[in-house]
A = this chain, B = another copy of it.
Amino acid sequence: VIESIRNRTEKHSFMHDLTYYKDFISEEIRNLKYRKTPPELYEPVSYIMKNGGKRIRPIMTLMACELFEGDIRKALWPAIGMEMFHNFTLMHDDIMDKATLRRGIPTVHHKWNENAAILSGDVMLILANQLMLKTDDDVLREVMNLYNTSGLLVCEGQQYDLNYENREEISLDDYLQMIELKTASLLSSCFRLGAVIAKSSEENKNKIESFGLNLGISFQIEDDILDVYSKSKKFGKSIGGDILSNKKTYLLVKAMEIANKSILEEIQYWLRLKSPDPKEKIQVFLKIYNDLNVQELAMEDSKKYYAISLEYLKQIDIHEHRKEELYKLAAYLINRKY
């Protein structure tokens, strides 16, 4: 077995690096042609798609495809379909969360208006449908089913996220279920998608999906930390946005779990307070988080899921040196500053 793996991987020992994938994806997204009229409908689509982001979802699809020796040109359009779908969810989530800033520029509903963001988001979901169809017949149904199912899970996660803003007591399990649906499921599906297009084995598909799921949970915990502690201009969102909207982030859920009675009451007071002073509210929570050391606890849990994810990656029946770029991607995602 070892020998056959070595032969197989030596034949294809080359894997592209992260920068190559990102440039490839970004270039193709820049070149996407949309229908032209009415411009009010398609300009927000082009606006959000061209404004970058880390492009990690399509990168994941291409990497998984290449890892399993698939043709990455066949994965390109579905990969971009996943990125289109992701940006559709951002456009609608930003309305629901009343976010004014995304990747350093005004959100669509803020720059145009809510109706524009609703309708252009709808169009993006349909454009994503079209991109997903650019797949060979023999994997078409599997691709479409994976895409639709993970799409539903993302919506379910967003609904829990909204529900939790108005619910005071959220357990760490509730939180984990929510981020698994809202964030990790799409990341894991992007990996699986690449494996599906490469026609890899069911076992490999499951393993790379589990790698992505655990990495995704770790990724979201890091995201929660960055919302409060990011010092980078590239973060692109307003610092403390989660605090102001009473988002049940890892930090808040953990803080409420370990706080003593008086601190818990202080947290509850600020969660219930109508129209607080934004700066003051952020300062209060920052102090509580620091006193309770929840950033540290979050990083520990994040590392736990990161370690599990690497375990799944290790188990995949491909020579380790071929997985190098995937390890790098994983490390990049949990060590990022924005």
Contact = CB atoms under 8 A, between A and B. Distances in A.
Contact of A41 (B95, B119, B121, B156): B156
B162 A35 contact: no
Given A123-B155, A159-B38, A118 B95 contact: yes
B152 A126 contact: yes
A86 interface: no
B159 A122 contact: no
A130 B145 CA distance: 7
Contacts of A92: 118-119, 122
Sorting the interface of chain A by its residue count into under 10, 10 to 19, 20 to 34 or 35 or more gives 35 or more
B133 A152 contact: no
B133 A119 contact: no
Contact of A160 (B38, B115, B126): B38
Contact of A129 (B127, B129, B158): B129
A16 interface: no
A133 to B, nearest CB: 6
Contacts of A119: 92, 96, 155, 158-159, 162
A35 B157 CA distance: 13
B122 A156 contact: no
A92 B118 CA distance: 7
Contact of A38 (B96, B115, B163): B163
Contacts of A130: 148
Nearest to A144: B133
A151 B126 CA distance: 7
A147 to B, nearest CB: 8
Nearest to A140: B140
Contacts of A151: 126, 129
A236 B185 CA distance: 40
A155 B118 contact: no
B129 A41 contact: no
Nearest to A129: B148
Q: Which of A121, A126, A141 has the most CB of B within 10 A?
A: A126
A66 to B, nearest CB: 26
A23 interface: no
Contacts of A162: 40, 115, 119
Contacts of A115: 95-96, 162
Contact of A133 (B114, B122, B145, B159): B145
Nearest to A157: B38
Given A96-B119, A119-B162, A140-B140, 19 more contacts: A35-B152, A38-B160, A38-B163, A40-B159, A41-B156, A41-B159, A92-B118, A92-B119, A95-B118, A96-B118, A118-B118, A119-B155, A122-B122, A126-B152, A129-B129, A129-B151, A133-B145, A137-B137, A140-B141
20 contacts: A35-B156, A38-B156, A38-B160, A38-B163, A40-B162, A41-B156, A95-B115, A95-B118, A96-B119, A114-B114, A115-B162, A121-B122, A122-B125, A125-B125, A126-B155, A127-B152, A129-B151, A133-B141, A133-B144, A137-B137
